[in-house]
Structure 1
């Protein structure tokens, strides 16, 4: 059965003009082309081809692009190539363009301290550098490096786990989410854990996921998620409309394991 492939080809040519861009579009019009300039100045052409195997897709795409380039009088020497299925391209395009950010309030939440204490923590040696400083919001950090830093800090201090009383189902779902985020297998996973891991359709970071549950199969998972959120071990929210529209999933949920939740998870699963 044939498969649609997205192939991006970079040519050793920095002399693109409006005429050659139009010419490449016209020559490749049956393959949904996208023509532009790579960051290094070379010509970049993305097109879609349908073949049964990946090598056939690569060969066909190179032949189409190089022939069009020669006919237009520009370099046909291929210096870069990227190929993936159409589904994988859609998945990548659906990822958030901006990573999770953290101001001082978010730093305080991640570290489990007051905003005043969080301000002091940001001054410690080794704390991640801010990616931007705004007049209206102060210093802005990437959330993941802050979480990693706080994890090292709490381990160094020998911080004990928070003594929360979790049901077996709540603990099972929390551990399954962590395993899915790390991309690690979960030995002797229960049926609830297997369904929870299968529901993780996208992983943005080890603690940040998009969940999609099939109808009639998610009541126990949702019940555990609600309880974990009430206990501040996770946060949940609805995805942006673009993601739900692209995937036609109206019941998806974005889940973040909080710093308190991370401390409840065994270091080895």
Structure 2
């Protein structure tokens, strides 16, 4: 629905930044681990990698760091928590300056109710107009549909309607169709039986995965070894793929490293990775929440 994207826009907006002395972003996911979250927040506000092992020591240092400071903390993608855990996590925040804020993104109403002190802001599905604008940007080389036939545009509109207002689905299919210039490729996506299957996985993401070449599927499946919402660095990930013999020897004069980078960019273009800008540096996050659903029997 774009919860994380909206939080990023707020977090990185210059008008917001100038209101706070310190900022930190923590991707929470599942499980709700107090120590891990506390360390992410401390690393964010101090802009350093703290090697403290004890939760108590982490909380003491975080509390000292935030004391009388106006801070903004984002807890992204919270799935579940015990109320006692939430109370313990927020202990270091008590001495912050008036006007400090904590933003929580979650897809679960109960989590929002338990953690929130103001009414939740619920995101609605994108309108067809906005979905089409997003689709044009990703599906057409020029960024608009004016140079394409009316029939192709009509098929594109029907595909966008099937995405049901979900921006990730629109972007994923747009990236897929960008590489399919022929009409039959677009028609095949529109008429796919995947749209009719009952699954926890978005049909658009399933179609994007099904269309991957086998070597790209192997690289993506390799990423399922890592925890959900794991932060990847492209160079390290490519080296891991090479070490696991997942990168084919290029037929041209390209190096195997260049070939691995091209694999990564292809997966990025299909929205299997997302570039997140927080704390003035880029983090690459892979969507692994639906891996087990996709890859049973692979």
- What TM-score results when the alignment is normalised by the length of structure 2? 0.29
> Which has the larger share of helix?
2
- What TM-score results when the alignment is normalised by the length of structure 1? 0.31
> Which has the larger share of strand?
1
Please tell me whether Structure 1 or Structure 2 has the larger radius of gyration of its CA atoms: 1
